[in-house]
Structure 1
Amino acid sequence: MLRLLPLTLAAVLAQAGLAQAGALKIQGVGISRDVECEGRDVGIYGAENEIALTGRCDVITMHGSGHTVSFKEGAGLSVSGVDNTVTGGRVRDITVSVTRNAVTATLVGGEQPGRLNTSGSDNRVSLVLSGPTQLRVTGADHTVEWARAEGAPSPEVTASGVKNVIKRKREAARPTP
C-alpha cells in the first residue's frame, strides 16, 4: 500500500495539471472577474457576467444573456444569446447568433480569410478588417459595419434575409486646413 502512495499522488497531481491546461469555464450570474487566457479555450455561461480576458485566448464561447466581455486576442469568438456585449481585440473567426448582441473587434485574415457569421436577428457588429475577410449575414435586422486597416482588401460579403445592413463605416470628418 505504501508503495502505491507515491504513484497515486503522482497520478492525482498529473490530473490536476491536465485540468489546469484545459478550457476555462465561467458559469453563473453576476460574476465579475479578470481572467488570464494563457492560450486556452474560454466558456462563459449564465447571465450578466462581466469578464475581462487578458492574454491570448484560443476559442471564446459565450452563451446566455446580459454578459459584458472584453478580450485582447483570440483564435475564435462565438456569441449566442440575448443582449451580450463583446469588445475585443484581434480574432480570426466570429460567430454571432440569436438576438440583440453587440460585438466590436478586429477581424484578422491571413492565408485563410477571417470570417464573420451572423444569424438570428437584430445583432450589431462593428469590425476593423485586417487582411482578407468574409462576412456572412443571415436572418433579419442585423447591422454590420466595417472599416479596413491599412492595406486590407474589401471583404467578400454573402447576405440573405430581411432588412440587414452591411456597410463600410464612414470615416471621421477631417478638419480643413
Structure 2
Amino acid sequence: MHKHMVRIGLLATLNIAAAHAAEPLELDGVGISRDVPCNGHDVNITGNGNHIRLTGDCGAVSVYGSQHRVTLDSAENLGVSGIDNQVVAKGHVGGLVVDTSDNRVEATIKAATPPARVQVDGAEQVLQLKLESAVEMEINGADHQLDWSGEEPAISTSGVGHRIERRS
C-alpha cells in the first residue's frame, strides 16, 4: 500500500511539473528590459515599449502591444500584432503572422514541415525575410513592404500599394 501511495504521489508531482512546463512565459509591462531564456516555452510579450531578448529555442512567440523591441534566437512560430513593434529573429522561424500597422520584422523562415506560412495584414508593415524552405505568403491590406531572398515563395495579395521585391 505504501509503495502504491508513493507512486501516486510521484505521478501527481510529474503531472504538475509537466503542466507547469507547458505554460507560456508571460512578459508584460511598460518600459522593461529583460533577457529571458526560452527553454522551448511559448512566450507572450504584452504592454508598451519593452526591450526583450529571448535566448535559445522558443515555442510560439507572440508580441502584442506597441513600441516593443524584441530579438530572439529561434521560434516555432512568430506573431506580431500592434503598432510600431520591431522584431529581429537571428535564427529560424517556422511561420509568421504580422498584423495591425507599422511593425518591422527581420527573420529567416524555415518550417520543420514545409510549406511555412507567412500572413501579413493591416497597413504599412515592413518585412525583411530570408526564405530557407517552401513558403506560402498571403499579403492583405495596404502599403506593405516585403523584401525577401532565398527560395521563390507562393504569394497571394489583396489590397493596395504593396511593394514586394526579391533581394540578392
TM-score range relative to shorter protein: 0.7 to 0.9
Moved over 2 A (4+): 10-21, 109-112
Identity %: 37
Deviation at 1:123, TM superposition (A): 0.4
Deviation at 1:45, TM superposition (A): 0.2
Q: Secondary structure at the match of 1:154?
A: coil
Q: Give the equivalent residue in structure 1 for 2:66.
A: 65
Q: Give the equivalent residue in structure 2 for 1:158.
A: 156
Q: For 1:33 and 1:49, locate their aligned partners in 2 and report how far apart those are by CA, in whole Å.
A: 8
User: Aligned AA for 2:142?
Assistant: A
Deviations 1:81-136 (A, max 9, x none): 00000000210110000000000000113542111100000000100000111111
Give the unaligned 5+ runs of structure 1.
Answer: 1-6, 172-177
Q: Give the equivalent residue in structure 2 for 1:119.
A: 121
**CA separation of 1:84 and 1:13: change in aligned 2, threshold 3 A:** same
Give the TM-score normalised by the residue count of structure 2.
0.87
Q: Give the equivalent residue in structure 2 for 1:81.
A: 82
Q: For 2:97 and 2:14, locate their aligned partners in 1 and report how far apart those are by CA, in whole Å.
A: 36
User: Aligned AA for 1:161?
Assistant: G
RMSD of equivalent CA atoms: 2.1
Q: Give the equivalent residue in structure 2 for 1:174.
A: none
Deviations 1:29-85 (A, max 9, x none): 011000100111000000000000000000000110000000111010000000000
Q: Secondary structure at the match of 1:55?
A: strand
Give the unaligned 5+ runs of structure 2.
Answer: 1-7
Q: Give the equivalent residue in structure 1 for 2:3.
A: none
Deviation at 1:13, TM superposition (A): 9.6
Q: Give the equivalent residue in structure 2 for 1:135.
A: 137
User: Aligned AA for 1:86?
Assistant: V
Aligned pair count reads 160
User: Aligned AA for 2:133?
Assistant: G
